Amino acid sequence: MRSFIVLFVIMLQTAFSQPVSLSDTTNQYDYVIITVPEFKSVCEQFKIHKEAVRNFKVLITDISEIFQEFDSSLIKQDNIKSFISYAGTFWRNPKPKYFLLAGDLTKIPNYEIISVPYYEKTDTAKSDFYYAMNKYSTDTTETSFYVGRIAARNTTELNNYFNKLIQYEGSSSLSLWNNKALILSDDQYTTESFEGKLWENFSLDIGNNASSYINVKYFFEDDSSDYYGTKDSIVQFINNSGTAAVFFIGHGNSIQYTHEKYFTIDDVDLIDNGNKFFITFYFGTQYFSDTVSSSITDKLLLSDDGAIGGLNYVGVHYANPAFLVFQESMRKIFSESRYTLGEVWESSEIISSRRLFNIFGDPSLKLKYDIFTGVKPPVNILPDKYSLKQNYPNPFNPSTTIKFSLPEDGIVKLKVYNLLGKEVATITNDFYKAGEYRVDFNAGDLSSGVYFYTIKAKNFTQTKKMTLIK
């Protein structure tokens, strides 16, 4: 009888999670979920899934348990950061690299920072970035951990997210949508430097960084573009064709994409994609949810359809660094190395961008796609007209790229002139077969200023302006 009681006690200890001393250096976990007491039972299903599918050893703790052992600061965020740094530094190997904050900002606060210092239009951003910095590191710019957040306000929202992710990671099937990416571009605005091509150029260059096995689809708000698409185009593509990633390039804020309301937070209700889940990359400013407000990204994550992750900005930022981050993200998210969201986030070497570029959802998430199939259609359709594209980047220093199209074979002359009309360089003077081309121009020998480049091919002539800034 006594042995039966001992066995029964052991079974009970196995069935229910035992309290863990967070300051115990013999702890050994790969993944830590930080939540609030009322969410702990909901997190159990996710813990079981991660341990079974990803072979992680997962710990669930809540902020009350953290504050019992890490309470040196009056600021709650600093105590949570102290725990993350301690666990990731002093626990037994393999130390936790992934941390998931399961709760909105009223439950688990984060850091308020100035998004763009010394900029008159700056704002106060709420960022999880400083949780990723190790307080025990001698390098104050180093990030040691991957910290994601599910900004759930209630158990229904948290269940929605976990159910989607469990279904996605638990399935071994692949469809064509797993190898697709959708890029949405803001309406083009005219500037002297970019001649109305800024967001379009950004979008096309980001798409060009996709792997050969990824089929990139573009929708541009500009109704004069060959890639013109409406809100209906976006919804139909996501719901019917499906896509693994959506990049929003251009203006926007937490409740709408572009200043013209191309896609708003209310349109998330139109997403009914039959469990074709995707990742979002958002150029505009997003917001982790609290009790009174939410963002497009959060609503996509917390609904029963839509997204299972996001890498998006949480404050005002400059376009050029953001473009570089998105460019690298496209390379990494679909690479043969199959990086996690946390690893893609860390790939940005621009600290000023990374502190605003936060992980929405599970930081250990990896996209599923087939690297052995090429889903991009072959480029064998010849242009139907001559064209000269705007150089990119513009302004530039000292190199830039110029694209042109030829509907038939012939000699192409591409020359550069100064403001006085004097020829200062010949980029090319050669025979080309019909097709699409790009040539590089190095202006290292020229002085800063405005220049014109002109193409002549048979009876076609066109001139565009570019700016060299050294």
349 and 446 share one domain: no
Q: How far is CA 117 from the centre of its chain?
A: 23
Range of the domain at 295: 174-361
pLDDT at residue 4, as a whole number: 42
pLDDT tens-digit series, residues 382-436: 788 999 999 888 888 888 889 999 999 899 999 999 998 899 999 998 888 888 8
With respect to residue 293, please indicate whether it lies within any of the assigned structural domains: yes
446 and 321 share one domain: no
The total number of structural domains that make up the chain:
2
Q: Which residues contact 192 (CB under 8 A, 6 or more apart)?
A: 465, 467
Sign of the C-alpha dihedral computed for residues 289, 292, 293 and 299 taken in this order: positive
208 and 243 share one domain: yes
With respect to residue 152, please indicate whether it lies within any of the assigned structural domains: no
Kindly report the backbone phi and psi dihedral angles of residue 248, in degrees, each rounded to the nearest multiple of 5, phi listed first.
-100, 110
Task: Calculate the alpha carbon distances from 93 to 34, 79, 86, 145, 365 in Å.
Answer: 20, 23, 13, 14, 21
Pairing of strands 278-285, 245-249: parallel
CA-nearest of 299, 305, 302 to 273 is 305
Measured CA to CA, the distance from residue 46 to residue 322 in angstroms comes to 32
237 and 284 share one domain: yes
pLDDT tens-digit series, residues 246-290: 999 998 899 999 888 999 999 999 999 988 999 999 998 999 999
305 and 428 share one domain: no
- Stretch 139-145: mean pLDDT, rounded? 84
pLDDT tens-digit series, residues 306-322: 999 999 999 988 888 88
With respect to residue 106, please indicate whether it lies within any of the assigned structural domains: no
* Beta strand ranges found along 286-398 (DSSP E): 307-313, 357-361, 387-388
With respect to residue 43, please indicate whether it lies within any of the assigned structural domains: no
409 and 296 share one domain: no
Looking at residue 430, which CATH number applies to its domain?
A: 2.60.40.1930
With respect to residue 444, please indicate whether it lies within any of the assigned structural domains: yes
Q: Across all residues in the chain, what is the average pLDDT?
A: 89
pLDDT at residue 440, as a whole number: 87
The answer to whether the beta carbons of residues 203 and 185 sit under 8 Å apart is: yes
pTM summary value: 0.77
User: 343, 361, 379: which is the final residue of a domain?
Assistant: 361
Residue 225 confidence class, pLDDT cut points 50, 70, 90: confident
Placement of tokens 């400013």 in the chain: 285
345 and 422 share one domain: no
454 and 330 share one domain: no
320 and 406 share one domain: no
Q: Which residues contact 13 (CB under 8 A, 6 or more apart)?
A: none
344 and 198 share one domain: yes
* Beta strand ranges found along 250-398 (DSSP E): 256-257, 263-264, 278-285, 307-313, 357-361, 387-388
395 and 314 share one domain: no
356 and 229 share one domain: yes
